[in-house]
Chain A
């Protein structure tokens, strides 16, 4: 009996467990998935929790519910990957041999990387919304906040879901308008990039939206320190931005397990072939989702497209055939723009997000890079799709892993 081990039962790991459960012969292969947590968090929901749009119940479900019966779920902390011996060491001292290993341990925030970020004001006037705790604390703060200078800030790239901080700024504008207190809030968007987003065409569209919503932008800001006493952020060039409420996206890092195992780079991401998703160091290790160092967005949609490609590649690997260089960096992201509207971007390694219709050329019903109510309905419907379709590894109709070029205005 051979064994395939998946590390991490988040979005990426759960999808792989479901795909492989269908594909691998149970009389030859045992599948094990390991995660120290018992609950699965719907991370896109962290954006809506602070604004009382979603409740905690919308966001949390038991991991067990999404793991197929034949797959063994181990609820344990992973101590180390001993890749040379094909072993995973668990915290209770047990070790587990594997024939194929899939790393899907994701990325998490590391606020300790910036001086003062986790200081006295942490969860008082300084918040993150990339954790359940942060998003919930921020919800309670926003319920009673009376206004002032709101600073929405990104520490450094790469971060999970690079559009989320922008969406937060847009939703905040909308939220304070509904509360009839927008005139009491000055919103500033602070980014280490030189514009709103990482790709030029989308940046132009998004910069325009920021202006329209009266959100100031401070670009090229590389934060050095959070000054808790005087409530301001200071960058290495000495630029200072004061805040009454700071909503920051701290540095994102891969799991510390990679550091302990000697598999990570300086941010604990695993060196991975960007087209096959095979580890650069060990042929029987594959990496998907936020854990890898590939130059694709760290987002659930990317993990979904990767899972389809990686499933085929693992089957090839098992048969001794070469893996296909099929992953094209495809990402597909709804961007909430407030007031019940959203825009949609679809892009890959070589094509930046452009205008057009999606998924059907000339028809839509979704429009690319343009605000519409339909896109917003798409984003809200996505929660259902996530829990009921995506995690189970069922392909989304008409949205293949490889990006389509029809219907787009390149």
Chain B
């Protein structure tokens, strides 16, 4: 389905995850973060960039992997993106919902 955001439209699935990563830009990321009630700090951006890099390399994401990445530990990941950090962070980063769940 289409979603109007930042004076443009993006393609999202029924859970609000972006379908085309190429449509993402920083402004959209900020707006998606606002919708998730998160104010993005520099730390948030470091993690978002890490997630996007892994996505480009087609590496599947999981909480365990992010915790071992050296970018952030799991405790801080939860503090920055409360409740369901991987889901929230990937949604803001514009990458598909991780399929660490088969």
Whether a CB of chain B sits under 8 angstroms from the CB of A198 is yes
Report the minimum CB–CB distance from A195 to chain B (whole Å). 10
Query: What residues of chain A lie closer than 8 Å to B20, measured between beta carbons?
Result: none
Whether a CB of chain A sits under 8 angstroms from the CB of B57 is no
Determine if B100 and A157 form an interchain contact, defined as CB atoms under 8 angstroms apart.
yes
Query: What residues of chain A lie closer than 8 Å to B83, measured between beta carbons?
Result: 220, 237
Whether a CB of chain B sits under 8 angstroms from the CB of A309 is no
Stretch at the interface among B21-29, B34-42, B47-55, B71-79: B71-79
Query: What residues of chain A lie closer than 8 Å to B77, measured between beta carbons?
Result: 236
Closest to B100 in A: A157
Give the interface size bracket for B toward A. 10 to 19
Determine if A198 and B63 form an interchain contact, defined as CB atoms under 8 angstroms apart.
no
Complex: A224 Cα to B74 Cα, angstroms: 9
Report the minimum CB–CB distance from A16 to chain B (whole Å). 22
Residue of B60, B63, B68 near A156 (CB, 8 A) is B63
Whether a CB of chain B sits under 8 angstroms from the CB of A162 is yes
Report the minimum CB–CB distance from B37 to chain A (whole Å). 15
List B residues 43-102 near A (Cβ within 8 Å).
60, 62-65, 68, 74-75, 77-78, 82-85, 87, 99-102
Complex: A267 Cα to B100 Cα, angstroms: 12
Whether a CB of chain B sits under 8 angstroms from the CB of A266 is yes
Report the minimum CB–CB distance from A407 to chain B (whole Å). 24
Determine if B99 and A236 form an interchain contact, defined as CB atoms under 8 angstroms apart.
no
Query: What residues of chain B lie closer than 8 Å to A193, measured between beta carbons?
Result: 101
Contacts A156-B62, A220-B87 given: A236-B75 contact, CB under 8 Å? yes
Closest to B14 in A: A200
Query: What residues of chain B lie closer than 8 Å to A192, measured between beta carbons?
Result: 63, 101
Closest to A331 in B: B102
Report the minimum CB–CB distance from B50 to chain A (whole Å). 16
Determine if B101 and A222 form an interchain contact, defined as CB atoms under 8 angstroms apart.
no
Residue of B60, B74, B100 near A236 (CB, 8 A) is B74
Query: What residues of chain B lie closer than 8 Å to A295, measured between beta carbons?
Result: 60, 99, 102
Closest to A219 in B: B84
Residue of B62, B74, B102 near A198 (CB, 8 A) is B102
Query: What residues of chain B lie closer than 8 Å to A298, measured between beta carbons?
Result: 102
Whether a CB of chain B sits under 8 angstroms from the CB of A405 is no
Determine if B101 and A157 form an interchain contact, defined as CB atoms under 8 angstroms apart.
yes
Determine if B102 and A162 form an interchain contact, defined as CB atoms under 8 angstroms apart.
yes
Query: What residues of chain A lie closer than 8 Å to B100, measured between beta carbons?
Result: 156-158
Report the minimum CB–CB distance from A251 to chain B (whole Å). 8
Determine if B102 and A157 form an interchain contact, defined as CB atoms under 8 angstroms apart.
yes
Determine if A266 and B64 form an interchain contact, defined as CB atoms under 8 angstroms apart.
yes
Report the minimum CB–CB distance from A255 to chain B (whole Å). 18
Whether a CB of chain B sits under 8 angstroms from the CB of A390 is no
Determine if A220 and B65 form an interchain contact, defined as CB atoms under 8 angstroms apart.
no
Whether a CB of chain B sits under 8 angstroms from the CB of A194 is yes
Residue of B63, B78, B102 near A158 (CB, 8 A) is B102
Closest to A195 in B: B101
Query: What residues of chain A lie closer than 8 Å to B65, measured between beta carbons?
Result: 266
Report the minimum CB–CB distance from B39 to chain A (whole Å). 18
Determine if B84 and A220 form an interchain contact, defined as CB atoms under 8 angstroms apart.
yes
A227-246 CB mask vs B (1 if < 8 Å, else 0) is: 00000000011000000000
Residue of A194, A222, A296, A297 near B63 (CB, 8 A) is A222
Complex: A236 Cα to B80 Cα, angstroms: 12
Report the minimum CB–CB distance from A203 to chain B (whole Å). 10
Complex: A198 Cα to B101 Cα, angstroms: 5
List A residues 210-269 near B (Cβ within 8 Å).
220, 222, 224, 236-237, 266-267
Query: What residues of chain A lie closer than 8 Å to B68, measured between beta carbons?
Result: 266
Report the minimum CB–CB distance from B12 to chain A (whole Å). 15
Report the minimum CB–CB distance from B20 to chain A (whole Å). 19
Complex: A220 Cα to B86 Cα, angstroms: 10
**Taking each of A157, A193, A295, A296, which has the highest tally of chain B beta carbons within 10 Å of its own beta carbon?**
A157
Query: What residues of chain B lie closer than 8 Å to A198, measured between beta carbons?
Result: 101-102
**Taking each of B65, B68, B102, which has the highest tally of chain A beta carbons within 10 Å of its own beta carbon?**
B102
List A residues 286-345 near B (Cβ within 8 Å).
295-298
Query: What residues of chain B lie closer than 8 Å to A220, measured between beta carbons?
Result: 83-84, 87
Determine if B102 and A237 form an interchain contact, defined as CB atoms under 8 angstroms apart.
no
Besides the contacts A157-B100, A157-B102, what 8 more A-B pairs have beta carbons closer than 8 Å? Answer: A156-B63, A192-B63, A194-B84, A198-B102, A224-B74, A236-B78, A237-B82, A237-B83
Instruction: Show the binding face of B for A, using Cβ within 8 Å.
Output: 60, 62-65, 68, 74-75, 77-78, 82-85, 87, 99-102
Instruction: Show the binding face of A for B, using Cβ within 8 Å.
Output: 156-158, 162, 192-194, 198, 220, 222, 224, 236-237, 266-267, 295-298
Task: Write 9 A-B pairs (CB below 8 A) sorted by A numbering.
Answer: A156-B62, A156-B63, A158-B102, A192-B101, A194-B84, A198-B101, A220-B87, A236-B75, A267-B64
